[in-house]
């Protein structure tokens, strides 16, 4: 708001907001976040399916056979998915940084969290398997 002085009185001029709603860049940042979290959900699902089975005490006593190794067929797609998730989130962070000019603009913290999770996953996956 801008304040002007006239004859001992203050009047305030309201600046009109020219933004009518979210523009294409804001929508694309939102959809990049949705795509990144969708890929991360798929990654977590694949990790759950590939990990060794848990054998309760009673099953071991009965002789039930469980898989004690990581399923490499499922894990073969993880490296591509983690790198794709990291690229999508880094693109979203870059676009958000370009868009963040006004005080009312906000930074998407979910993209930062997702990129940290992807970087951690890349390091863990490269060291573990």
Structure tokens at 39: 């890929």
**Ramachandran area for residue 110 (φ above 0: left; ψ -120 to 50: alpha; else beta):** alpha
pLDDT digits (tens, 9 = 90+) for 43-98: 999 988 888 877 676 666 677 777 777 888 888 888 899 999 999 999 999 998 88
Please report whether residue 10 resides in a domain.
Answer: no
Domain that holds residue 53: 24-128
Q: Are 111 and 32 in contact (CB under 8 A)?
A: yes
Please report whether residue 9 resides in a domain.
Answer: no
- Identify the pLDDT of residue 20: 72
Q: How far is CA 78 from the centre of its chain?
A: 16
- Identify the pLDDT of residue 118: 94
Look at residue 7 and tell me whether its pLDDT is greater than 80.
Answer: no
Number of domains in the chain: 1
Please report whether residue 1 resides in a domain.
Answer: no
- What sign for the dihedral angle of Cα 89, 71, 64, 56? negative
90-113 mean pLDDT? 83
1-12 mean pLDDT? 55
- Identify the pLDDT of residue 113: 94
Please report whether residue 40 resides in a domain.
Answer: yes
Look at residue 11 and tell me whether its pLDDT is greater than 80.
Answer: no
């Amino acid at each position: 708001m801008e304040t002007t002085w006239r004859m001992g009185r203050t009047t305030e001029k309201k600046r009109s907001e020219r933004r009518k709603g979210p523009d294409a860049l804001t929508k694309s940042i939102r959809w990049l976040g949705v795509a990144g979290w969708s890929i991360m959900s798929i990654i977590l699902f694949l990790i759950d399916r590939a990990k060794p089975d848990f054998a309760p005490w009673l099953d071991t006593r009965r002789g039930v056979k469980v898989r004690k190794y990581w399923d490499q067929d499922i894990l073969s797609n993880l490296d591509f998915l983690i790198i794709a998730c990291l690229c999508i989130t880094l693109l979203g962070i870059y676009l958000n940084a370009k868009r963040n000019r006004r005080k009312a603009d906000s930074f998407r913290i979910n993209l930062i969290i997702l990129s940290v999770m992807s970087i951690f996953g890349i390091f863990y996956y490269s060291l573990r398997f």
